Structure formats: structure tokens, C-alpha cells
Structure 1
Amino acid sequence: MAPSSAIAPLIEKMARRDAISPAERQALSTLLGPVRTVAAGKMLIEPGDRPSFSTFLVSGLCARFSLTPNGGRQLTEINVPGDFVDLHSMLMRQMDHGVIALADCVIAPAAHDDLRRLTETAAHLTRLLWLETVVDGAIHRQWLVTLGQQNAASRMAHLVCELYCRLEAAGLACDQRFGLPITQADLGDVLGLSQVHVNRVLMELRRQDLLEWKAGQVTIKDWPGLVRLGAFDPTYLRLHRDAV
């Protein structure tokens, strides 16, 4: 896969937020190294790792996770194509969380040395990449709110709305349909629910004719209704044009 093709979802998303010049598109396309595949269930990053590069998700789905002292696992954000799963590792040095593939993934590295050079020579791109990390933080905050304040059905509705908006912004979803090839167990680790409870919630959303989820494909049948149920406001995703 050519680097320009691999980076396309990120450029598509960035262009939602501000204009990107041909020179900036070229600079982004030269950031990525050779792609490699990671099978579902495998680690992209282990807690405690000290990576020398940031990992870009070309295709598939992965998730950040933290472990509890009793061996439990909480997924703290789902990454979609067009995301750097650990852009912050350039400054954090040592990872305080891990990243696991929820589906088969294609990833590519962006060397920290190359990212540093970019920050020294391309102020506008630096701000756009900084905005990527700012939105990361906003997603984490929103997930804390949904976990603490919303019931199970509302949490599920909010997650589906968020993922659709993020994938649509990267040019990977349209017409209220998108791929979500993850297990109900993983979905439970995102939403803080048992697998049985996840199944019940999905049945309820189907009963209300809000969505269908079959064979890893989600179809949103009533977008306004799903937005109301999830109390979803996409402002925190910053997907509108606003000079950076």
C-alpha cells in the first residue's frame, strides 16, 4: 500500500477541521513507514513500552486499555482508521496503557524523530496533530461521563453515534451504515457491561427499531432517535471547519 493511500483517512479527517495544502498532504504522506498486519486479539502496544514511533491505524479497529489490580480490563477508547493510536507517546516516553487489536488491523509507524522534525518545520500541521491529541482527551472525558451518568442503552446509543461520526469523517462510513467487526465481550469492556447485558441492550435497540447489527455491520435506522437516546452532541469530536 502506498503511503499516500495509507494516510488518506487522516487527511480526510483533518480537512474537515481546516484547509490542508498540497505540500502539507505530501509531508503527511512521507511520515509513515512500511505497513504490517496485526491479528485480532494481538497487542499493538504493551503497557510499559517505550516506543520510538507512533502507530497509525490504516485499517481495522483497535482499543486502548488499562488493567486493574485484580486482572480486569477496561477499554478506554476505540481507535478507527485514520487515528494515531499513540501520538502522545512522542512525549510520554513510557506507555501507561496498552493497545489491542479488536479486529484484524493494518498499521504503519511514524518515527518520533520524523514527527519532531515536522513540528519544527510545519507549524500548521503541528497544530492539526496537536488537535488530534486534544480530541483524544475529549473522547476520554465523554466516555467517563457516559459510564458514570448514562444507563446501558444510552451508553450503547452514544457509542454507536460517536463511531459513525468518526468513521464518516474519515470517509469510511455513509448512509448511516458502518462496519463494527468486534465481539460483544469487547463491547462489554467498552461499556462496563457483561456480555449478557450487551446482548439484551442490542435486542432492545433493535426492538425500538433504532439500529441493526449483523455480521459486523451496523445500520442506524433512526438517527434522530439514537441521538436522543444517547444524548449525543458531536461538538467534542471537532469535525467542523474551524481555522487552526
Structure 2
Amino acid sequence: MSNRFVGKLSNFGPLSANEQSTLISATSNARKVAPRKDLIREGDRPGPVFVILEGWACRYKILPNGSRQILAYLMPGDCCDLHVGLLAEMDHSIQTITAAVVATIDRLEMDAIMDRHKGVAKAMYIAQLVDEGTMRAWITSMGRRSSIERVAHLMCELYLRARNIGLDFEPYLALPLSQLMLADSLGMTPVHLNRVLKELRHEGAMDLQRGHLLITDPGKLVQIAGFDANYLHRRLRSAA
């Protein structure tokens, strides 16, 4: 499916030809966005629903001391903040990581689409539930998983999410995330993260170099992470 947003929602339930056509039309205003550009900033009034059609983006917060916490990664097909329009202002920022293609759907139009098309509404709600499940998994990692478990868990998640939307390039997965970004999402320093990545490589579980992830032993990486893919509704497949 050429429209990744439609493709993602179709994974959560059947969409009629009319529903697919409606979503394609709603995202036809897509524009190219340069890397490291804020789509919306913390404190802004909520705007339209952002749909990432190509490229990667992230949610993040800047703390008073200037440090950054990355809250989520957005891949092609993901949309941002279905119901945030009910709030007075954004409580976090959204920024592109790579060059991206981003569409916007006006909130009134999105409401109308979901009112008229029950298949779209159901798929959107399931997508939101998956996002919330992912957030809970991140909270669990930050609170209870060790450093090596935390890194291994995130690598399993990103690899599986990418495979689900056809972004994998065997045997490597292009992962456009710097070690600084990964550290900011894992609550670690870049130096500590580098040590953990070396340990995972020494264990023969995975190797991350120059923006490419190679999972050399999926079973071992899953075991180290204690990874259960139930919150993503897919299972990690062997890279063989």
C-alpha cells in the first residue's frame, strides 16, 4: 500500500475502498519537511492531526536544565495526538528526525471522517491504544529494567515496528537515530549507552553501527530484554 497511513490502519481492521479513498484524500496535502524541524512545540495551541507518511519523527520534552527526554519515536504511517485538540496547549514537542513527508488533517475533518466511517474510527482507536501500550512499556523500562535490558528492549521494539511496516532491509535495519538520541530516550548518558552497546555486541545479540542495526541473535536479544511483543500486537520474527 503506497499510503503508509492507510496501510497501518488496515492492519487494525478492514477498511472499505471508500474509507481508504477518504483517508488518501485527507492526506493529499502532504509536504516535505527538513530534518530536525519542530512540527509543533510545547506550549503551542494544538493544531491539526499530523500524519507521518515518510521519514522519522519524535516526541520530546526539554527540562529546565536544558536536557532532553525523548518520549516516543514516530515512523511512517503514524499519526500524532488524535484528541490533543481538547487541551489548551501542547505539553510536549514533536520534531522530525530525518527528512520527512508530513500531511495534516484538520481536527473538524478528522472528527467528520470518524463519524462517517466506523472502520476508520475503530482503527484509529486501536492505533491510539497501541501507542499507549508502547508508552507503558517505556515507563516500565525506565523504572525497572536494567541498562542492558532497557537498550535490548528498545532495539526489539524498533526492529519489530519497522518490520511491521516494511522498513527492514535484510540483514540490516536502517536506524536513523544517533547514540545521543537513543541515550535521551533511555535516560542514559551517551558514554554509558556506548558501553551497553559494546556489551550487547560482545554477547553476540546485536550490532549497531553507523545508523544500521543488525540483530545477530534474535532469541538472545529477546531473552536479554525480557521482550514480550503483546503491546505491539506482532511477534518478533527471526532475522534469518
- What is the TM-score with the length of structure 2 in the denominator? 0.90
* 3-state SS of paired residue (2:49): strand
Change (3 A) 1:151 1:176: farther
Distance 1:187 1:96, change over 3 A: same
Q: How far is 1:27 from its partner?
A: 1.7
Checking the alignment, whether the CA contact within 8 Å between 1:65 and 1:74 is kept in structure 2 is yes
For the pair 1:46 / 2:41, whether they are aligned, the reply is: yes
Question: 1:133 is matched by which residue type in structure 2?
Answer: Q
Identical positions, percent:
32
The Cα of 1:109 is off from its aligned counterpart by 0.9
Write out the 4+ residue segments of structure 1 that deviate beyond 4 Å after TM superposition: none
C-alpha change, 1:27 and 1:239, in structure 2 (3 Å) is farther
1:110 and 2:111 equivalent? no
8 A contact 1:12–1:169 mirrored in 2: no
Q: Paired residue for 2:222?
A: 227
**Equivalent residue, structure 2, for 1:210:** 205
Is the aligned partner of 1:64 residue 2:63? Answer: no
| Unaligned residue ranges in structure 2 (runs of 5+) | 236-240
In the TM superposition, residue 186 of structure 1 has moved relative to its aligned partner by: 0.8
1:15 corresponds to which residue? 10
Is the 8 Å Cα contact of residues 138 and 236 (structure 1) preserved in structure 2?
A: yes
Q: 1:193 aligns with which of 168, 188, 195?
A: 188
Aligned AA for 1:207? H
Which of 121, 126, 132 aligns to 2:127? It is 132
Give the 3 Å change call, closer, same or farther, for CA 93–125 of structure 1 in structure 2.
farther
Aligned residues between the structures: 235
1:76-133 CA deviation, whole Å, 9 max, x = no partner? 1111111013333343352111012222222111121210111210112101111111
In structure 2, C-alpha distance between the alignment counterparts of 1:234 and 1:212, rounded to whole Å: 21
SS of the residue corresponding to residue 65 of structure 1 reads: strand
* 1:26 and 2:27 are equivalent in the alignment: no
Q: 1: distance between equivalents of 2:179 and 2:91? A: 26
Pick 1 or 2: higher relative contact order, CA cutoff 8 A, min separation 6. Answer: 1
Instruction: Decide which of 92, 96, 104 is 2:91's aligned counterpart.
Output: 96
Distance 2:86 2:170 in 1: 38
Which sections of structure 1, spanning at least 5 residues, go unmatched?
none
Residues 12 and 171 in structure 1, CA contact (< 8 A), matched pair in contact too: no
TM-score normalised by length of structure 1: 0.89
Shift of 1:233: 0.8
